[in-house]
A = this chain, B = another copy of it.
């Protein structure tokens, strides 16, 4: 068996190591266009900021080590230019010597990755305008920051964009983020990003939403970024982080199938339309585990997993890739945002029935010092209760709850299963009723009919005179510190004795701070014949729909 692997970073390196473990006799050659293999892509922003101090830490392994340990023929600075599928060989250019040569294969794995998008913006090739993909890029960016940068503009408020923002701010750079959409972190539902906007605002980051860069010009102070709005931003450093596109040229030229967004098409065994050619990583189109639809998810975890699976299949093991849930996480200063499975907007786009609940718990028992708040949103099927997606934003413990919910989605569990989860509890780590249990209680209560809920945006979308009667069951001091316009205040502890103040001929939307007192109030009202629903997640959820600057 002669196996060629195009690309030596996440998916390619994983495939190569796995292939060697499966076969000592196979001839395995890895071609990597860049000078490095298997570097820590996800660490690059933190090297700019100095959190990762040594460049060497970013090199997970070296060509030399791969040769010594795995007996791999690793050829860096080697660009694969073409595939001759009928002859089963590839044409390689050695970038050092510019020499070209051919190499035959029995099996071929494509792991070329994805390249940062470079939209046709005037001035995009000016010095000082960067994208961030590899160690070469990060060296250039870091060198510029080290020379002294007063202002930076990051175009694109995705995961890497916001990680760079954080690290620029830590380097003392006044930073502006420009994002085309009306929210940061576009994979998330918009209201879940409100706490991130608040954090960015606290850190004096300027966030310009619904904006795009239209030009870059050189000026005496550095670069001038011209926005669609006409606004002009001065910066000595500009990062373009507006997404990636699959590196599919090799595949397309070889006549392999690609999807509408450019991802190389593969079957569940990660074979392309040519059964001797596999493809893995950011370059491929894969199945969304929840929706079953094709998608492209450029993430390191799935890429590594796919590399392993391609090698398994190549050696005859028949291991299917189950698709991706899009589990993702990002740290933005002290806050963490994470998600898994479907978002509300993706479900809406797909026309798939769904319900949602919000809760606003602390990461561990409130009586133990240092509890940090989070907001957790889960999405589920209204007929079966099956969990479809989850998003969380907050401090410590967000990663844990999203991981737990990722497993629940993988297992096809329902909100009723969340009620029963037996998670580790001591006061430093969680609560006797963990946030995941609480989300299950609220969602199951909704589905069982015990806990009718109305979404706050549904309430607010109605014309004022057609809104339900808004009942705020918090304390008078909470009420006076801020409430939804038009609400009437009857604290839950007084409700039983003040039922005469509640209209019996109208829909009632109850709310409290996080939903718990509202739930009890809803129970009281419904048992007394009122038509009441609880605003899920209460006033805190209402606030999510009021991002800063609105």
Contact = CB atoms under 8 A, between A and B. Distances in A.
19 contacts: A20-B520, A21-B520, A21-B523, A24-B523, A42-B365, A52-B368, A69-B520, A301-B425, A308-B441, A322-B420, A336-B429, A400-B400, A400-B403, A403-B403, A404-B404, A407-B407, A407-B408, A407-B423, A411-B411
A257 to B, nearest CB: 25
A86 to B, nearest CB: 32
Interface string A340-356: 10000000000000000
Nearest to A517: B69
B404 A403 contact: yes
Contacts of A493: 68-69
B301 A519 contact: no
A422 B409 CA distance: 10
A201 interface: no
A167 to B, nearest CB: 12
Contacts of A289: 422
Closest 8 CB pairs of A and B: A411-B411, A329-B424, A300-B432, A400-B400, A24-B527, A57-B367, A68-B493, A399-B429
A422 B327 contact: yes
A426 B51 contact: no
Contacts of A422: 289, 301-302, 305, 324-325, 327, 340, 406, 410
A432 B417 CA distance: 27
Interface in A493-550: 493, 496, 517, 519-520, 523-524, 527-528
A162 to B, nearest CB: 11
A293 to B, nearest CB: 16
A324 B402 CA distance: 23
A478 interface: no
Interface residues of A, number: 87
A425 B42 contact: yes
Interface in A39-63: 40, 42-43, 46, 51-53, 57-58, 60
Copies of this chain, count: 2
Instruction: Pick from A301, A419, A430, A433 the residue with the most CB of B within 10 Å.
Output: A301
Interface string A388-427: 0000000000011011101110110100010111111111
Contacts of A407: 404, 407-408, 411, 413, 421, 423
A423 B399 CA distance: 9
A6 B328 CA distance: 46
A57 B366 CA distance: 8
A206 interface: no
A369 interface: yes
A426 B308 CA distance: 20
Nearest to A411: B411
Contact of A328 (B58, B367, B413, B424): B424
A21 B534 CA distance: 14
Interface in A435-462: 437, 441, 450
B43 A368 contact: yes
A496 B496 CA distance: 80
A192 to B, nearest CB: 15
A328 B40 CA distance: 35
B299 A425 contact: yes
A523 to B, nearest CB: 5
Nearest to A42: B427
A451 to B, nearest CB: 9
A71 interface: yes
